[in-house]
């Protein structure tokens, strides 16, 4: 097969730039390590240096962090049930994503961090794990990794593919390279028709792209009965309870101010506070104490006491259960230009959802929820506070939103079934796995 000289030139320039930037990756890991100690560990995986032999071929799935791991979980579980003979390698970029993989599957799957996208690391990663199939979640478009899979004959599927107008604009400078990399992919399974059209605009061929729907609608709410029963042994269900979920550093002062106003209107109001990142757990606890409030935490006290005004959820993997404990949920990442977080989670748990205006990462979901009347989208923190206060007082309005949200989630399901049908024929034949193990 004749090599594309333009591809070779673009890959060469891109790779040289990345190699020159490698010293900065060390600085980045050190800087992040001072905030999250886990970033000081497992550096060898970031550069694809592995101590032991690779062993059997695997199916590889990449999910950058917690949200993508959660979205992929029903798919992975279904495919593992179909084919228990297949060994999985799951990569993430963040330590919280790594912790979520371990919480879901323990040692039943292999996990490493995705290496940096330089040719040497890509080659070592693919040579070590020998994936027979690559499944990449959402918007992780790493050119050298995509080209490396093509060169080794590994089919690549971009699943639950999402590309916002903002991300498309950001890729514009690399369109010549990224577009060529996209054309090596077997299939782009987009969340919506709008996402599909943006992937085509970026360079994918129309015949490569399908709009299969959003896997996040195929959410399976956990059984929250034990948590609810234990929670309400300590907190009467009649108390006004709201949750500030997945908040970021720049939103914390807004949460403090909103709760101050709520306490004036509802002196027995309780705030459940779940910061997005573990490094903020202690900080938000300190902020709440500095405000003069009585604070309990999930790790220290397990449950809020009868007099608690703030309960910090300083654990991972429990957010869905605590959504069910609240009457109203503010979903963070939306008062800043972060792009929002998953609004379907409170909807699935029967909790009225309130959000800020910055929702570009969940544009389709937020649009559909807004049209269904299942979410309050607010222009700023003052509007968020007013919406939370109004909903805490208006049980009928909350119930209407809850029913609309549950109906939307139920009607939106189907992407999982379509994705399983797409992927199942591409799984390695059982004979190939048996031969590799022999």
Q: Which positions are annotated as active-site residues?
A: 68
Tokens 């970031």 sit on residue: 46
Q: Please name every residue paired with 209 in a beta bridge, in sequence order, or none if there are none.
A: 188
Per DSSP, 339 falls in state -
Tokens 């060390």 sit on residue: 26
Go through 379-401 and write b for each residue having 16 or more CB atoms within 10 A of its CB, e for each that does not.
eebeebbebbbebbeeeeebeeb
Torsion of CA 115, 117, 123, 127, to 10 degrees: 40
Interaxial angle between packed helices 66-82 and 415-423, expressed in degrees from 0 to 180 and rounded to the nearest 10: 60
SS3 110: strand
* Residues composing the chain: 438
The Cα 88–Cα 108 span in angstroms is 8
CA-based torsion, 112, 115, 120, 125: positive or negative: positive
Tokens 């559909």 sit on residue: 368
The Cα 262–Cα 180 span in angstroms is 53
* CA atoms within 13 Å, Cβ hemisphere of 303: 15
Interaxial angle between packed helices 119-129 and 143-151, expressed in degrees from 0 to 180 and rounded to the nearest 10: 50
| CA angle (397 as vertex; 393, 401 as ends), nearest 5 | 125
SS3 245: strand
**Are residues 244 and 271 in contact, defined by beta-carbon separation less than 8 angstroms?**
yes
């Amino acid at each position: 097969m004749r090599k594309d000289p333009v591809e070779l030139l673009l890959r060469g320039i891109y790779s040289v730039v990345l190699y020159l930037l490698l010293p900065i990756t060390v600085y980045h890991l050190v800087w992040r390590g001072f905030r999250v100690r886990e970033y000081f560990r497992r550096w060898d995986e970031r550069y694809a240096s592995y101590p032991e032999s690779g062993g059997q071929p695997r199916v590889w799935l990449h999910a950058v962090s917690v949200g993508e791991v959660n979205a992929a979980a029903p798919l992975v579980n279904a495919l593992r049930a179909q084919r228990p003979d297949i060994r999985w390698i799951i990569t993430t970029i963040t330590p919280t994503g790594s912790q979520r993989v371990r919480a879901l599957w323990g040692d039943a799957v292999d996990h490493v961090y995705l290496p940096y996208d330089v040719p040497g690391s890509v080659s070592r990663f693919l040579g070590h794990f020998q994936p027979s199939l690559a499944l990449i979640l959402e918007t992780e478009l790493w050119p050298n990794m995509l080209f490396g899979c093509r060169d080794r004959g590994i089919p690549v599927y971009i699943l639950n593919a999402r590309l916002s107008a903002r991300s498309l604009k950001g890729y514009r400078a690399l369109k010549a390279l990224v577009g060529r990399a996209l054309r090596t992919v077997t299939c782009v399974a987009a969340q919506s028709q709008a996402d599909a059209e943006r992937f085509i605009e970026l360079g994918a061929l129309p015949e490569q792209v399908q709009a299969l729907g959003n896997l996040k609608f195929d959410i399976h709410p956990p059984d929250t009965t034990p948590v609810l029963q234990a929670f309400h042994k300590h907190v009467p269900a009649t108390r006004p309870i709201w949750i500030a979920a997945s908040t970021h550093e720049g939103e914390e002062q807004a949460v403090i101010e909103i709760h101050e106003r709520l306490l004036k209107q509802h002196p027995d109001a309780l705030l459940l506070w779940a910061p997005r990142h573990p490094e903020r757990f202690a900080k938000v606890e300190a902020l709440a104490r500095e405000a003069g409030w009585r604070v309990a935490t999930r790790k220290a006290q397990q449950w809020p006491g009868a007099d608690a005004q703030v309960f910090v959820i300083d654990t991972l993997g429990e957010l869905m259960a605590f959504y069910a404990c609240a009457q109203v949920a503010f979903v963070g990442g939306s008062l800043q230009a972060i792009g929002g977080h998953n609004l379907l989670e409170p909807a699935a748990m029967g909790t009225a959802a309130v959000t800020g205006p910055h929702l570009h990462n969940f544009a389709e979901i937020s649009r559909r929820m807004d049209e269904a009347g299942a979410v309050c989208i607010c222009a700023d923190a003052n509007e968020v506070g007013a919406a939370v206060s109004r909903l805490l007082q208006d049980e009928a309005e909350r119930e209407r939103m809850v029913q609309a949200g549950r109906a939307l989630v139920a009607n939106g399901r189907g992407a999982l079934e379509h994705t399983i049908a797409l992927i199942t024929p591409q799984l390695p034949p059982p004979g190939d796995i048996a031969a590799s193990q022999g």
